[in-house]
Structure 1
Amino acid sequence: MELKSYQRLVIENLESFLDYIQKTNRIDKAFNQFWEDKWGPYEPLTKKGMAPYKNNIPDVPHVCIKVPTAGGKTFIACNALQTIFSAYDEKLPKAVVWLVPWSNLLDQTISNLSNPDHPYRQKLNTLFNHRVEIYSKTELQQGSNFNPTVVNDQLSIFVMSFASLRARKKEDRKAYQENGQLAAFADQYTDRSQLLDDIDDTALINVIRSLQPVVIVDESHNAESDLSIDMLNNLNPSFILDLTATPKNNSNIISYVPAIELKKEHMVKLPVIVYNHHDKTEVITSALHLQKKLENLAIQQEKAGGKYIRPIVLFQAQPRTNEDNTTFDKLKQQLLKVGIPEEQIKIKTAEKDELKGIDLISKDCQVRFIITINALKEGWDCPFAYILASLADKSSAVDVEQILGRVLRQPYVSKQATPLLNVSYVLTASAKFNETLEKIVNGLQNAGFSERDYRQSDKMPEEVKIEAIQQTMEQFLFPEQTEQEDEIEIERISLPEDNDSAEDSESTIDQIISMAETENEAMESEIQRSLKSNPETTLLSEMADKANYYRMLDSKKEQAQNIRLHQFMIKANLNTIFGIEELPLNQESLLTNFQLSNEDIKIDFDQFSSDLYKVDLEEGNQNQFTPKFRKIEDPNFKDPMIDLILASPKSNQIKTVSTQLMHLIGNMYPIPDQEIRKYITRIIESLNAEQIHDVLIRKLSYTEKIKAKIKSHADAYAEQRFNDLLKTNQIYHLPVWRFPDVIIPGRLGPSIANSLYEKEAAMDSNFETSVIMDIASLPNIAFWHRNLGRGKGFAINGYKSNHYPDFIVVTNSGNIILLETKGDDRDNPDSAAKRRLGEKWANIGGATYHYFMVYDTISPEGAYNRNKAKELISIL
Structure 2
Amino acid sequence: MAAVNFELKNYQKESLGKFEQYLVDTEEMGANLAFYKLTSLPYRDAPNIADGTPYVCLRVPTGGGKTLMAAVSVGIAAKSHMQTPNPMVLWLVPSTPIKYQTLAALKNVDHPYRAALMEQFGRNVSVMDKDEALAMSRADAEGGACIIVSTIQSFKRDDKDGLKAYQDSGALMDHFSGLKDEQTEHLEKVEGTHRPIASLVNLLRLHRPMVIVDEAHNARSALSFDTLENFHPSLILELTATPQTEYEPKKEKYPSNILHSVSAAELKAEQMIKLPIRLTTNSDWQKTIGAALDCRHSLEEAAQAERAETKEYIRPIILFQAQSASKNDPARITYDVIKKHLLEDKLIPEDQIAVHTGPEKDLDGLDVLSEDCDVRYIITQSKLKEGWDCPFAYVLCSVAEQRSGTAVEQILGRILRMPKAKRKTIDVLNRAYAFVASANFNATAEALKDGLVEGSGFNKQEVNELVTDNSDLGFDRFRNETDFESEPVEIDHTPVVEVQKKISELPVRVRARLSFNEEKNTFVYKGQMSKEDRNLVQLKMANVAGADKAIDRLYQETNGYQRSQAADIDKPPFIVPGLVFSEQGKLELFKRDHFLDLPWRLDECDATSILDRFTLRLDSKRGELDVTQKGKMEIRFIDRMHDDLLAVVHEPSWNIPRLANWIDTGIKKQDVTKPSSVMFMKKVLDALIYQGGFTLDELVRNKFDLRRAVSDLIGDLREVRETQNYSALFSVDASKFAVSAEEGVIFDEQTYAYNQPHKGGYRFQKHYATLIGDLKDSGEEYDCAKYLDQMDAVQYWIRNVEQKPNSFWLQLPKYKFYPDFVALLKDGRILVVEYKGAYLYNDDDAKSKRFIGEVWANASEGKCLFVMPTERRFDEIDKIAGV
TM tier relative to shorter chain: 0.5 to 0.7
Describe the shift of the 1:64–1:620 C-alpha distance in structure 2 as closer, same or farther (beyond 3 A). farther
| Preserved contact between residue 132 and residue 155 of structure 1 (Cα < 8 Å) | yes
Matched, 1:316 2:321: yes
Could you list the per-position Cα deviations for residues 648-702 of structure 1 after superposition, in whole angstroms to 9, with x for gaps in the alignment? xx9xx67x8646633x224x7xx59xx9668756877999999997996543344
| Preserved contact between residue 36 and residue 43 of structure 2 (Cα < 8 Å) | yes
1:345 alignment counterpart:
353
| Preserved contact between residue 569 and residue 734 of structure 1 (Cα < 8 Å) | no
Larger mean Cα displacement after TM superposition, 255-264 or 733-742: 733-742
**2-side partners of 1:440 and 1:126: how far apart?**
40
Q: Partner of 2:88: helix, strand, or coil?
A: strand
Of the two structures, which has the highest relative contact order with CA contacts closer than 8 Å and spacing of 6 or more? Answer: 1
| Preserved contact between residue 810 and residue 853 of structure 2 (Cα < 8 Å) | yes
2:421 alignment counterpart:
413
State the AA in 1 paired with 2:241. Answer: A
**1-side partners of 2:848 and 2:734: how far apart?**
13
Which of 141, 161, 169 aligns to 1:179? It is 169
**1-side partners of 2:721 and 2:172: how far apart?**
50
Describe the shift of the 1:81–1:388 C-alpha distance in structure 2 as closer, same or farther (beyond 3 A). same
1:206 alignment counterpart:
202
2:498 alignment counterpart:
none
Describe the shift of the 1:641–1:621 C-alpha distance in structure 2 as closer, same or farther (beyond 3 A). same
Q: How does 1:821-832 map to 2 (within 5 A)?
A: none
**2-side partners of 1:507 and 1:743: how far apart?**
32
Which of 9, 22, 39 aligns to 2:14? It is 9
Matched, 1:53 2:44: yes
1:537 alignment counterpart:
none
Q: Partner of 1:426: helix, strand, or coil?
A: strand
Matched, 1:302 2:298: no
Q: Partner of 1:402: helix, strand, or coil?
A: helix
**2-side partners of 1:341 and 1:305: how far apart?**
29
**2-side partners of 1:153 and 1:746: how far apart?**
51
Structure 2: tracts of 5 or more residues without a match: 1-5, 247-254, 481-526, 540-573, 582-587, 690-695, 753-763, 786-798, 823-830, 869-879
2:606 alignment counterpart:
604
Could you list the per-position Cα deviations for residues 507-546 of structure 1 after superposition, in whole angstroms to 9, with x for gaps in the alignment? 99879999xx99x979999xx99xxxxxxxxxxxxxxxxx
| Preserved contact between residue 22 and residue 35 of structure 2 (Cα < 8 Å) | yes
Q: How does 1:393-472 map to 2 (within 5 A)?
A: 399-431=407-439, 436-445=444-453, 446-449=455-458, 450=460, 451-455=463-467, 457=469
Q: CA deviation at 1:132?
A: 1.7
Which of 819, 841, 851 aligns to 2:856? It is 841
Q: How does 1:23-102 map to 2 (within 5 A)?
A: 23-25=28-30, 27-36=31-40, 50-56=41-47, 57-59=49-51, 60-88=53-81, 90=83, 93-102=86-95
State the AA in 1 paired with 2:467. Answer: R
Which of 381, 384, 387 aligns to 2:392? It is 384
Structure 1: tracts of 5 or more residues without a match: 37-49, 460-505, 530-563, 572-583, 749-754, 761-786, 809-813, 853-872
Which of 365, 373, 378 aligns to 1:365? It is 373
Q: How does 1:325-724 map to 2 (within 5 A)?
A: 327-329=334-336, 331-337=338-344, 338-349=346-357, 351-392=359-400, 399-431=407-439, 436-445=444-453, 446-449=455-458, 450=460, 451-455=463-467, 457=469, 568=578, 587=591, 601-608=603-610, 609-611=612-614, 628=636, 644=652, 658=661, 661-662=664-665, 664-666=666-668, 680=677, 697=703, 698-705=706-713
State the AA in 2 paired with 1:5. Answer: N
2:558 alignment counterpart:
none
**1-side partners of 2:189 and 2:629: how far apart?**
14
**2-side partners of 1:646 and 1:72: how far apart?**
40
Larger mean Cα displacement after TM superposition, 298-307 or 681-690: 681-690
**1-side partners of 2:376 and 2:745: how far apart?**
47
State the AA in 2 paired with 1:344. Answer: Q
State the AA in 2 paired with 1:217. Answer: V
1:164 alignment counterpart:
154
Aligned residues: 683
**1-side partners of 2:774 and 2:313: how far apart?**
45
**2-side partners of 1:137 and 1:817: how far apart?**
54
Which of 85, 96, 103 aligns to 1:103? It is 96
Which of 282, 289, 294 aligns to 1:289? It is 294
Describe the shift of the 1:395–1:21 C-alpha distance in structure 2 as closer, same or farther (beyond 3 A). closer
Q: CA deviation at 1:797?
A: 4.0
Which of 235, 253, 278 aligns to 2:231? It is 235
Q: Percent identity?
A: 29
| Preserved contact between residue 403 and residue 447 of structure 2 (Cα < 8 Å) | no
State the AA in 2 paired with 1:452. Answer: N
1:771 alignment counterpart:
none
Describe the shift of the 1:329–1:833 C-alpha distance in structure 2 as closer, same or farther (beyond 3 A). same
Q: Partner of 1:205: helix, strand, or coil?
A: helix
| TM-score, normalised relative to structure 1 | 0.64
State the AA in 2 paired with 1:175. Answer: A
| Preserved contact between residue 165 and residue 231 of structure 1 (Cα < 8 Å) | yes
| TM-score, normalised relative to structure 2 | 0.63
State the AA in 2 paired with 1:568. Answer: G
Which of 184, 194, 210 aligns to 1:192? It is 184
2:144 alignment counterpart:
154
**2-side partners of 1:166 and 1:592: how far apart?**
58
State the AA in 2 paired with 1:28. Answer: N
**1-side partners of 2:233 and 2:258: how far apart?**
18
**2-side partners of 1:74 and 1:841: how far apart?**
41
| Preserved contact between residue 271 and residue 423 of structure 1 (Cα < 8 Å) | yes
| Preserved contact between residue 94 and residue 155 of structure 1 (Cα < 8 Å) | yes
Describe the shift of the 1:31–1:91 C-alpha distance in structure 2 as closer, same or farther (beyond 3 A). closer
| Preserved contact between residue 397 and residue 436 of structure 1 (Cα < 8 Å) | no
1:554 alignment counterpart:
none
Q: Partner of 1:63: helix, strand, or coil?
A: strand
Q: Partner of 1:88: helix, strand, or coil?
A: helix
Q: CA deviation at 1:364?
A: 3.0
Q: CA deviation at 1:6?
A: 1.7
Q: Partner of 1:665: helix, strand, or coil?
A: coil
Matched, 1:262 2:274: no
Q: Partner of 1:69: helix, strand, or coil?
A: coil
